[in-house]
Chains A and B, each alone.
Chain A
Amino acid sequence: MTAVAAARSPRMNARTWDRVLIYGSAILLALWVLVPFYLIFLSAFSRPNDVFTYPKPLLPTDLSTETMQTFLNSTGVFASVINSIAVAVLTIVISLAFGAPAGYALARFTFRGRQAVQLVILASKMFPVAILSIPLAVAFLRLGLYDNVLGIALVHSAMALPFVVLVTAGVFAGVSNELEEAAMTLGCSRLTAFLRVALPLALPGLAAAAIFTFVISWNEVFASSILTLRQRTLPALVLFALQQSPLYFKFAGGFFMVMPAIVFIFFMRRYLLNLWGGR
């Protein structure tokens, strides 16, 4: 019946093909991302010995929290998760506190050396952390920041700042200056105009910058490994334990590393997809 209708109307036919293509690509992309997640999930929630069974059952017939429990109860994991979260939150606060005003200035004001500033911000990404890490470790030892959550957060902020500045500059450039000026003619000062008009409109973009910062910090392993001894972040701990630990432990670690990022993005999604006025 539908085939007959489709054959009768070539336009309908073309549209159907369009849809097949669009949905097909979307499904492929989703699988590309989801299948590895799913495999990690399967392994993380099976019995430690089942990790080696082959062929793998594709349906979770035999779920168990045994592996996860072993992982979570092993020494240092809980503390390192707390550390990782603390570092990530501190990094977001620091890099937005410094990056967003810088981005705002780049977007709103034309000043001498504006281009140069933009370039220098990007150029700071040229220094590899590997080379910086030894002098950084020495400096942190002297300052008492070594093996310290704040120390790592500072390093992560330095890594995230160029992105935050450029992303927020783009975000604020997207908020018309006339809106702020209108607010100023309606009784706002420069500050209240910013707080009441520019900031709410920039929020989705700022949220995106925050997510990005979170992911950078949560995944960063090199600086965290070098600059900590006991106050490990999760990636540093997992890296450290990688050689000694069994395979199932790695899967559990992997799953646990992925989870917070997903949850975080899930809650931030509203800000990312929200279009003002649209429902």
Chain B
Amino acid sequence: MAGIRMQGIVKTFGKTTAIKEISLEVKDGEFLVLLGPSGCGKTTLLRCIAGLETVDAGRIFIGDRDVTDLPPRHRNIAMVFQSYAVFPHMTVRSNIGFGLRMKRVPKPQLERRVQEGAALLALEPFLDRYPAQLSGGQRQRVAVARALVMDAPVLLMDEPLSNLDALLRLQARADLKRLHREVKRTTVYVTHDQVEAMSMGDRIAVMREGVIEQCEPPMQLYTNPASQFVGGFIGSPPMNFLRGRTKAGAFEGEGFSLPMDGSRVEDGRELLLGIRAEQIRFGERGVPARVQVVEPLGATALVTVLVGKVPVKVDAPVNTTVRPDQNVSLAFEPADIRWMDATTGAALAH
């Protein structure tokens, strides 16, 4: 078994820099998610670990081995591709056994391991079929089985669920999580779906423009985002932000003023007040706002209110009495507020 250590990885394509000096450590057996919008460099970073891209600077270690200059086949990794990359000219059986054949694993052992892999992903009935005769979900499972039977200590996955329909994705997500618990491989998982990241990752590395903004366990990320970007990217609905300025120990926003505990922040500084939708209540006193839309979602109702001109999302009970165009007050605990610098977007220490 092995962890992964990246030191100062830089990768450029022509004039564009895809990865700007990333250092990251993935512990043995950990499930790390690389999360970010498209074009943030997450897939590139994964391909660097796989050896499908060569890095311009930095070193990559898998276990104790420096694999920076090794081709993919010598890195002891297995990978699941976004398109699954299941070989169309081979049966499911040959697909799953392909890597073992390349490694010249003796036939009886090969057959046993293919059977085990197929069993793990419920593929036994399809072993003699061709990929063209399988559904998308089944093909995805073939790709996972093919990677798993390699018994490589490191498993890399590039958006393996993005081509499945919503219902199947839920199922496959749970399956993958269960598999990880059973096989305990070090896993790096790329996705742009924050719900997927939250539900699966031991830790999530949020990437933006070739840089890791924050790398922490999901709930840490959710409650203490390191920046406006992370707060806005994680969570559905995203974190609300209100702009304002400090003045005499208070935060002055558009049409409201909130006392700030202590005097940590100097006067006249531009700040953002970050607050999660479920931490806002409609109260007697607080930030004045006007209700715009009420969307009942079943378990809760999502209410959009306007503070000045800024829309704010509020998670309200489904039986909420607020109606559009009603004037309300937003109340929240000072402890739930996350302060960010308005210019850099970085969170203030608290």
Asked if A and B are interacting partners, one says yes
Could you list which residues of chain A lie within 8 angstroms of chain B, going by C-beta atoms? 176, 178-179, 181-190, 192, 197, 200-201, 275-278
> Which residues on A sit within 8 Å (CB–CB) of B87?
179, 182-183, 197
Interface check B89, CB cutoff 8 A: yes
Contact B130 A276 (CB under 8 A): yes
> Which residues on B sit within 8 Å (CB–CB) of A276?
88-89, 130, 132
User: Which of A181, A201, A278 has the largest number of chain B CB atoms within 10 A?
Assistant: A181
Interface check B3, CB cutoff 8 A: no
Contact A192 B102 (CB under 8 A): yes
Contact B102 A187 (CB under 8 A): yes
Contact B89 A176 (CB under 8 A): no
The 3 A-B residue pairs whose C-beta atoms are closest, nearest first, are: A277-B132, A187-B102, A277-B130
Contact B81 A178 (CB under 8 A): yes
Contact B71 A176 (CB under 8 A): no
Mark contacts of B50-77 with chain A using CB atoms, 8 A cut-off: 1 yes-contact digit, 0 otherwise: 1110000000000000000001110001
**Among A182, A189, A197, A277, contact of B79 (Cβ-Cβ < 8 Å):** A182
CA of A66 to CA of B89 in the docked complex: distance in angstroms? 49
Q: Is the interface of A mostly helix, strand, loop or mixed?
A: helix
CA of A183 to CA of B99 in the docked complex: distance in angstroms? 8
Contact A188 B102 (CB under 8 A): yes
> Which residues on B sit within 8 Å (CB–CB) of A197?
87, 89
Interface check B85, CB cutoff 8 A: yes
Mark contacts of B117-160 with chain A using CB atoms, 8 A cut-off: 1 yes-contact digit, 0 otherwise: 00000000000011111000000000100100010000010000
Contact B85 A184 (CB under 8 A): no
Interface check B103, CB cutoff 8 A: yes
Contact A179 B85 (CB under 8 A): yes
CA of A198 to CA of B77 in the docked complex: distance in angstroms? 22
Interface check B98, CB cutoff 8 A: yes
> Could you count the A-B residue pairs with CB atoms below 8 Å apart for me: how many are there?
69
> Which residues on B sit within 8 Å (CB–CB) of A186?
73, 78, 98-99, 102, 146, 150
Q: A178-B81, A178-B83 are in contact. Are A184 and B52 (CB under 8 A)?
A: yes
Q: A200-B89, A201-B88, A277-B133 are in contact. Are A187 and B103 (CB under 8 A)?
A: yes
Smallest CB gap from B101: residue in A: A187
Contact B77 A185 (CB under 8 A): yes
Pick 5 A–B contacts, CB within 8 A, sort by A.
A181-B85, A183-B87, A184-B73, A186-B73, A275-B132
Interface size on B, residues (CB 8 A): 29
Contact B85 A182 (CB under 8 A): yes
Smallest CB gap from B99: residue in A: A186
> Which residues on B sit within 8 Å (CB–CB) of A179?
85, 87
Contact B89 A182 (CB under 8 A): no
Smallest CB gap from A181: residue in B: B52
Mark contacts of B24-62 with chain A using CB atoms, 8 A cut-off: 1 yes-contact digit, 0 otherwise: 000000000000000000000000001110000000000
CB distance from A184 to the nearest CB of B (A): 5
Contact B88 A184 (CB under 8 A): no
> Which residues on B sit within 8 Å (CB–CB) of A278?
132
User: Which of B50, B78, B102, B146 has the largest number of chain A CB atoms within 10 A?
Assistant: B102
> Which residues on B sit within 8 Å (CB–CB) of A201?
88-89
> Which residues on B sit within 8 Å (CB–CB) of A190?
71
Smallest CB gap from A182: residue in B: B85
Interface residues in B225-239 by Cβ distance below 8 A to A read: none
**Among A185, A189, A200, A277, contact of B50 (Cβ-Cβ < 8 Å):** A185
CA of A190 to CA of B130 in the docked complex: distance in angstroms? 24
CB distance from B101 to the nearest CB of A (A): 8
Contact B78 A185 (CB under 8 A): yes
> Which residues on A sit within 8 Å (CB–CB) of B88?
201, 276-277
CB distance from B90 to the nearest CB of A (A): 9
CB distance from A178 to the nearest CB of B (A): 4
Smallest CB gap from A186: residue in B: B99
CB distance from B57 to the nearest CB of A (A): 22
> Which residues on B sit within 8 Å (CB–CB) of A182?
79, 81, 85, 87, 143
Contact A185 B52 (CB under 8 A): yes
> Which residues on A sit within 8 Å (CB–CB) of B73?
184-189
> Which residues on A sit within 8 Å (CB–CB) of B89?
197, 200-201, 276
CA of A43 to CA of B131 in the docked complex: distance in angstroms? 50
